[in-house]
Amino acid sequence: MKFNINHILLLFLAGIQLSCSYSKKFTTGYYEENRKDFQSVYQQYKGIFAKKPFAFHMKGNTFNQASLEIITDTMEYIYNFDLNEKKIIDTLVKYRFDTLTVQQLIKDMQSLNCTWITKLDYFENRQKKYLVFISVRHKKLESLFKPTKYFTLAFFEEPQPSDTEGRLQDRKNKKNLRKINGANFYRINDKLFYSLSRNFR
């Protein structure tokens, strides 16, 4: 069978459409299927961060490589690890982390395919507030037709406004959408929003 350029183009466009449709279905289902686990990661991270501010990046095809970003008032320290080695435990002890809690957080992140967790600040009415930002890298979001996308979650402390399409709005001027790292976010509930993004952070 011979294929001309029009056939190839049609197949390409069909592939993109199927990829977009599947990506949307994935986002609406993945959180619900893993709600308790995501909430556990969120609560664990908040508890650890309250004592020792940090961000964590999981890397590698099996999430066995990691970067720990330790945040102080004046400096930010970045350490890279192979999670199969003892080096990470030595670093956690050095900075007085609760090693068992951090190890459990790492295991839970691996099970959910989480690649990044951090705390971001933003301002409302000149008041500084925070959200927890989690990124997921999942093979089901990979596509031959489009760049890899990350399923990102924004956990807020307070209810947030959204429009009729579920998009996160600016509280002060609801005609404007509030973007996080340049991406639009969509409502899961009034304190939790998600996006599909090319960037994990």
Q: Per-10-residue mean pLDDT for the chain, 201 residues long? A: 47 42 63 94 97 94 92 90 91 95 96 95 88 89 66 96 94 88 93 91 86
- CB contact at 8 A, 119 and 53: yes
Give the total number of structural domains in the chain. Answer: 1
The pLDDT value given to residue 147: 64
Among candidate residues 67, 164, 159, 161, the one with its CA nearest the CA of residue 106: 67
Among candidate residues 137, 135, 130, 2, the one with its CA nearest the CA of residue 71: 130
Which tokens sit at 80? 């890279």
- CB contact at 8 A, 197 and 149: yes
DSSP character for 181? T
The pLDDT value given to residue 27: 67
The pLDDT value given to residue 20: 46
The pLDDT value given to residue 8: 42
- CB contact at 8 A, 82 and 64: yes
Distances (CA, A) of 105 to 17, 50, 99, 110, 192: 36, 15, 10, 9, 20
Distances (CA, A) of 7 to 1, 37, 47, 107: 11, 44, 55, 46
The pLDDT value given to residue 15: 47
The pLDDT value given to residue 26: 63
Range of the domain at 67: 5-197
| Order of strands across the sheet that contains 150-156 | 76-82, 65-71, 54-59, 114-124, 127-136, 150-156, 192-197, 186-189
